Amino acid sequence: MKINPATEQKINDIIEKMSLEEKVLQMFQMDKSAHKEAYSELSKLNIGSYLSIMGEEVDYLREKAKKTKNAIPPIFGIDAIHGHSLKNGATIFPSQLAMACSFNEELIEEMGAATAKEVNADGLDWVFSPVLCIARDTRWGRVDETFGEDPYLIGKLGAAIIRGYEKDGLVASCAKHYIGYGEATGGRDSYDTEVTLRKVRETFLPPFKEAVDAGTSTVMTAYGTLDGTPMTAHKELLTDVLRGELGFEGFVVTDYLNFKLISTKHRVAANPAEAARLGITAGNDMSMNAVAFIGAAIDEVKNGNIPEAAIDEAVRRILRVKANLGLFEEKERMPKSVIACKEHRELNHKLTRESLVLLKNNGVLPLKNAPAKIAVIGPNADNIANQYGDWTFTSHRPAEEFAQIKNDYYTVLRGVREIFPSSEVEYALGCPVCGEDGADIEKAVRIAESADIVILALGDELSQNGEAKDRADLELSGKQNELLRAVKATGTPVVTVMVTGKPLCIGEVLESSDAVVQMFGGGDLGGLCTAELIAGKFNPSGKLPISYPRATGALPCYYNGYSSWHWGKYCDVEKGALLSFGYGLSYTEYEYSDIAVSKTQVHMGESVKISANVTNKGAMAGDETVQLYVTDHYSSVMTPRINLRGFKKIHLEPGETKRVSFTVTPADLALVNRREETVVEPGKFTLYISPCAPDFTYEDGEYARVIEVVE
């Protein structure tokens, strides 16, 4: 966010002319579908913002606003979280979780810029993205919206997408949900997050710091509560930390109806008036859709319970974002032709290829020759709504709007048909994702028996992903395991494609399949890229941004946990994650060697360099994500066993070696102590350069070097 003195002056001039009522209306954002009557009345006035409105109505409302006394342009927000995906026909990129598998900041930045163009061409100004929540209890329904489980990766990818959204001044981004929302106890969406402020600083704040530094224009207050305080009323975190410490200059919008929820659900405000007072003085600038907020805020100012200066400050922040976007001027939009244009499709193609993760391969892949007959089986082989996942027009818009899907999309079935034109392709559903209606496992077995290879697409469905769609059980639902067993029993090689919104318990899938590919929310091209991967048209490079549990009860299983747990395991489940953060196979083999540090003793405040050779030992060129991790041996508070502190994606031709270096700065070695200060404590640290999350060690090793920080 840029502060421009001339613009600030103009904003102050506008505010001076505004009545209290007009100011409070600027602090209101309206969703038409929730308030049909209020909408027709309020839209005659100069309200600050609208959400989820698309099409001609946007221009109509803009024109209407021009006829009001102050003629302040409204800002139009939309949940464009993986492309302008609520619009039928716009580019749908892979889900955030899928994008994270690419570990590719550059591509994600480009994706942000492409989305900004499509959103702007459609007349909208503001994307409610990125989601910076941390997905560690994966029972939570919104895992697919996140960049995974690691604060460092989330921060870097969040910053990249924000740079992309905001760089051409076309749209504002919105870092959400502030803060700790993904960590709600029991994976229960919008429930209380039982963590301390020290923990907030250690784990949940770093991605938001990255977002503010990258220039996000807005931040959204989470639904949940933190240690019993609703985020909407959390002055310390919304004002002292977000603005005071992180230096955020944009505006804060609440999540949907938060001003209402703090009295009706959280019960910390007795009525709308108290809710308005708590929420505004805590640091919220815009109320999403809580209509009672308007009257309550006006009354509270009149009664002297909210200082008008707080209202002025909120309006100032909102107008600042509008001015930065150029909304006060008549400005050209991007042409409609950018929506789903060739350039965005090519970008989507690249990103989708990098978003797939090869989880197992016994050598069956890539298919050397086109098989004579391919059996494509499974509930997610030809289901685009499940492949798109949440926040697309198929999940969030009225059914009539997607009766005819305009996107040129590829399910796995279409992809296989196109990439293997000379093969005979037969398809069977096998069974639905949930329940058994329409299951016909016998048919699936019949086509599997006569095929040379089975491509089996299993996974989850829309009813199992999204807001308030938390799962108590992450095993494959319905008859999917039965289908897997029956197909496996035919003896035909099985390539399983997991089309899911989150890591499921796939122990049996890994064991029974010859190869396994993970597609988290594949967007338009997930099916095409999966078929290309199977055919060896590119070398898979995706790595996991999140760990897989061995059983639902063995959650959480995130890689950066503590080492203080008795024996480190449940007595009835094998130790550790089934698949851990950073893991992912390719069609070649990378060798790591000659790891070295620039010095083994480092003075406080100094940086140290660590490097290693990475060699492509196989016959196929590929891209490898080289990862830097850090362990603090002893410290005044417990620290995670290992923490990601860097990653670099490099290209290697067959036989090629590259030396990869990282500079480890004091910030990479820091912890948050009991006084909530971020400090480096002297002592030993292990630094690792490795292809995935390494095992914790106190010793030098293949991937590890120990250094000592001295006073």
| Chain residues that interact with ligand BGC, rule: CB under 6 A | 51-52, 79, 128, 176, 255-256, 467
Residue at shortest CB range from ligand BGC: 128
Chain-centroid distance of CA 463 in Å reads 19
- Cβ neighbours of residue 675 under 8 Å, at least 6 residues apart? none
Q: Measured from the CB atom, is 222 or 595 closer to ligand BGC?
A: 222
Nearer to ligand BGC, 233 or 578 (CB): 233
265 versus 648: smaller Cβ distance to ligand BGC: 265
Give the nearer residue to ligand BGC in terms of CB position, either 256 or 558. Answer: 256
Rounded Cα distance between 343 and 113, Å, is 12
Sign of the C-alpha dihedral computed for residues 140, 143, 146 and 148 taken in this order: positive
CB of 145 to ligand BGC, least distance (A): 7
Q: CB nearer to ligand BGC: give 256 or 393.
A: 256
Tell me which DSSP letter residue 191 carries.
-
- Sign of CA pseudo-dihedral 222, 227, 230, 235: negative
**Residue nearer to ligand BGC on the CB measure, 8 or 467:** 467
**Residue number with CB closer to ligand BGC (51 or 487):** 51
Conformational region of residue 699, where left means phi above 0, alpha means psi within -120 to 50, and beta covers everything else: beta
Question: Residue 711 and residue 709: Cα distance in Å, rounded?
Answer: 7
Least separation in angstroms between residue 92's CB and ligand BGC is 17
Nearer to ligand BGC, 142 or 705 (CB): 142
Q: In Å, what is the CA distance from 709 to each residue of 190, 610, 633, 679, 702? A: 41, 15, 11, 12, 22
The least CB distance from residue 88 to ligand BGC, in Å, is 17
Nearer to ligand BGC, 176 or 199 (CB): 176
Give the count of beta carbons closer than 10 Å to the beta carbon of residue 442: 10
Least distance in angstroms from the C-beta of 61 to ligand BGC: 17
User: Directed axis angle between helix 151-166 and helix 205-213, to 10°?
Assistant: 20
The residues, any chain, with a CB within 8 Å of residue 370's CB and separated by 6 or more, are: 420, 422, 423, 535
Nearer to ligand BGC, 114 or 127 (CB): 127
561 Cβ contact list (under 8 Å, min separation 6): 640, 641
Number of other CB atoms surrounding residue 82 within 10 Å: 30
- H/E segment holding residue 254: strand 251-254
Cβ pair 158, 130 in contact under 8 A: yes
- How many Å is the maximal CA-CA distance in the chain? 80
Q: Nearest distance from residue 276's CB to ligand BGC, in Å?
A: 20
Q: In Å, what is the CA distance from 611 to each residue of 298, 555, 590, 636, 660?
A: 60, 34, 15, 29, 5
Is 128 or 259 the residue whose CB approaches ligand BGC more closely? 128
Nearer to ligand BGC, 256 or 388 (CB): 256
Q: Tokens 């009522």 correspond to what residue?
A: 21
Instruction: Supply the minimum distance, in Å, between the C-beta of residue 140 and ligand BGC.
Output: 12
Least CB distance from residue 154 to ligand BGC, whole Å? 16
Three-state DSSP at 321 gives: helix
Contact in structure between 685 and 632 (CB atoms under 8 Å) = yes
DSSP H/E element including 510:
helix 507-512
Is 157 or 431 the residue whose CB approaches ligand BGC more closely?
Answer: 157
Shortest approach of ligand BGC to residue 187 CB, angstroms?
Answer: 15
519 SS3 class: strand
213 three-class SS: helix
Token couple for 404: 């005819």
Least distance (Å) between residue 266 CB and ligand BGC = 15
Minimum distance from residue 110 beta carbon to ligand BGC (Å)? 23
State the nearest-atom distance from the C-beta of 128 to ligand BGC, in Å: 4
**Closer CB to ligand BGC, residue 230 or residue 691?**
230
CB of 119 to ligand BGC, least distance (A): 14
DSSP string over 660-671: EEEEE-HHHH-E
**What minimum distance in Å lies between the beta carbon of 172 and ligand BGC?**
13
Question: Min. distance of Cβ 49 from ligand BGC in angstroms?
Answer: 11
Sheet holding 590-597, edge to edge: 590-597, 608-616, 657-664
HSE-up of residue 697 (Cα within 13 Å, Cβ side): 17
